[in-house]
Structure 1
Amino acid sequence: MHKLIIEYINRLERKEKRKSFLIDDLEKHIISRFGGYSSYQGKGGYAALYKSIKILEKQHRIKELKTVGYNGQNPPLKIRWAIMQKDILTKWSKEDMLRVSDLLDLSQYNKNPHLQTDKEWQYINNIYEFLKNKESRSWASCEERCLELFNDEKFMDSNKKDNEVLKRLNISYDDLKMKKYGHMFVYWNRGTPNIEKIIILENHSTFFSYKRAAMEGKHIFEIIPDALIYGEGKKIIKSFSFLEEIADIKRVEALYFGDIDPEGFMIYRLLKEKYKEIDISLQLEAYSTLLSLNKFNYPCEGQSENEENLNYVLEELYKSNRNLEADKIMDICRSKYRIPQELITYEYLMGL
């Protein structure tokens, strides 16, 4: 139990920046960690907790607050206790820290000496050596640079516990000349060196129908696309960053066409919100045609309704004076139906 109490106090001090705690909160935490009151009692219960508190008080780790009352138990303890700041000795030498301070900001490590570990210092040394030679180094992928500096190509994954070093040093990806490349999406290029007009298709079959028609020189709803992108459903939200590898994103006009259903609308909204620097809009003629071709109530199953996504699409339709289409889509979605984009086939496109 004593170890759990120390861990609780350390966490309050370091992570939550707390300077005091309630004895009742501590006891509830210990009971929870033991899996219930019976198990807590089996480990000594309140008597063991009291003993640990008194030990920590003698060690000057905690101190009772004189101005508050007692908890009403026997033997009694004060309701609230102050956490006494530990004198943590800095582990890194001042000379070493000064040596790298011309290129690195170590203020976070001065404020938080517990972060001064051997592993962290090795990271800092590697970063410092890179920065000294930065001008002669080439750009690399995030994975390549992380393997070089941290011996772990997945160092920047969000579930890693020790990947905060860049944040502490206020170092960016650009500082380390590393880039997080998006996964490559499937696309078709008409052959132009300057891609400007793009159509993003949610589903595989529609992508190939559009591609076949475009290759035969057909206008697709009055548009000759420079490129077609297969979105692979929700994957496009992440992979769309690859666009800058094949086009000047400042000159691109991207049209999105997906299913009329909650997931299709969600993909569109997230795509627009994540890539605000790119001109993305709905391929309105395709949606209008999809509505006109629909003769069946396709049930919408296994998809979560989201009014925010629906309203996002409806707003764009209303702004484009597509009131009739907007009203139809609203009725379809609220009736829990959907329309798959595969109603627009290669045969239909060729007949336009």
Structure 2
Amino acid sequence: MCYNTNKLFSGDIPMKMQDYICKVIDSFPRKMLKWDTDIRDPVARRFASRWEDAGGYEAFAAAINNLVEEKVLSPVKKSGLNGLSPPLALRYRKLPLQEGDYSAAKEEILSFYCSRMDLSSFLNSPQDYDRHRDILMAIDHFLIEAENNPPAVWDTVNERSFALTGHEKFLSSHKGNQLLKRIKITLQDLCCVPAPEPFFFWATALPLLPEERAHCLVVENKDTFHSLKYLLGAGKLKTNPEIHLLIYGEGKKILNSWSFIYECLPGAAGYQFFYFGDLGPGGARYLR
């Protein structure tokens, strides 16, 4: 695995060919890479018109061969050669770091990161660093940006997770929680909030007085919900106390949605819930 903390370009001077090849290699999750479409083409696109100034194919081939000597890549001899001069194998295999050789990883941890993440555990266990590297870099970049320009509107956890990792469920997963604990970063640090699961409800338009608790009726059955909605809306049914919010429980779904109530009646001083439905094992869960 390559470790390099240089920027891709410094002014108008292109970075070394090998440095950017390392960047491309690191970005691939696959262990088997084609010399052209997986390595050369991304490098050439990045250099664009400066490809020849950077040495072109000859510099590219020399860098690939150097990475082979450094045991970063291994040519797959059975794949054949590309027919160019100097020749390269058609396929290369990414090699893992040698056992115990984590000096480059430690150097990167110490020199690259500028945010308040605590990476001491990765210094103590550098063998864990490589598989978290891309996510750690993304979090580090976000924390620095957020410190300089705090976002006016926070994203949901899933939105922030997708932006940082490409997977919307990662931050809310067990692995995501463990990683955040490990680097001592919270969801608040990442400027994101959990999005409560919404539920079906109907507001009765009953005025909510200042410092008054909202009365909420949770109905388990969908047909009963619609009947009560009609009767209450038509003024043909009176309850004591009067109901501010009629909620369709939708089986077990409501159990993961209670926090959504704060978005339905944000001005309430508190909430009192009533339940209409089966008091079997399923219905009893609402009362816990």
User: C-alpha displacement at 1:219, in angstroms?
Assistant: 5.2
Is 1:245 the equivalent of 2:263?
yes
2:63 aligned partner? none
1:72 aligned partner? none
The answer on whether the counterparts of 2:199 and 2:260 sit within 8 Å (CA) in structure 1 is yes
Match of 1:125 among 137, 153, 169: 137
Q: TM-score, normalised by structure 2?
A: 0.56
The answer on whether the counterparts of 2:106 and 2:123 sit within 8 Å (CA) in structure 1 is no
The answer on whether the counterparts of 1:188 and 1:228 sit within 8 Å (CA) in structure 2 is yes
Is 1:167 the equivalent of 2:185?
no
Distance 1:196 1:216, change over 3 A: same
AA in 2 matched with 1:251: G
Is 1:259 the equivalent of 2:278?
yes
Bigger radius of gyration among the two = 1
The answer on whether the counterparts of 2:158 and 2:172 sit within 8 Å (CA) in structure 1 is no
SS state at 1:136 partner: coil
Aligned-partner Cα distance in 2 for 1:163–1:222 = 44
SS state at 2:252 partner: helix
Q: TM-score, normalised by structure 1?
A: 0.46
Distance 1:224 1:217, change over 3 A: farther
Unaligned runs of 5+ in 2: 1-98
Match of 1:112 among 125, 148, 151: 125
Aligned-partner Cα distance in 1 for 2:180–2:191 = 13
Match of 1:149 among 133, 149, 164: 164
AA in 2 matched with 1:167: K
Unaligned runs of 5+ in 1: 1-85, 270-352
The answer on whether the counterparts of 1:201 and 1:229 sit within 8 Å (CA) in structure 2 is yes
SS state at 2:257 partner: helix
Match of 1:200 among 209, 215, 218: 218
Distance 1:122 1:250, change over 3 A: farther
Distance 1:176 1:157, change over 3 A: closer
Q: Which has the higher helix share?
A: 1
The answer on whether the counterparts of 1:181 and 1:241 sit within 8 Å (CA) in structure 2 is no
Aligned-partner Cα distance in 2 for 1:98–1:192 = 61
The answer on whether the counterparts of 1:140 and 1:179 sit within 8 Å (CA) in structure 2 is yes
Match of 1:190 among 204, 221, 232: 204
Which has the higher mean CA deviation after the structures are superposed, 211-220 or 172-181?
Answer: 211-220
Aligned-partner Cα distance in 2 for 1:162–1:102 = 18
AA in 1 matched with 2:102: L
AA in 2 matched with 1:260: L
Identity of aligned residues (%): 30
User: C-alpha displacement at 1:230, in angstroms?
Assistant: 0.2
AA in 2 matched with 1:211: K
Is 1:100 the equivalent of 2:113?
yes
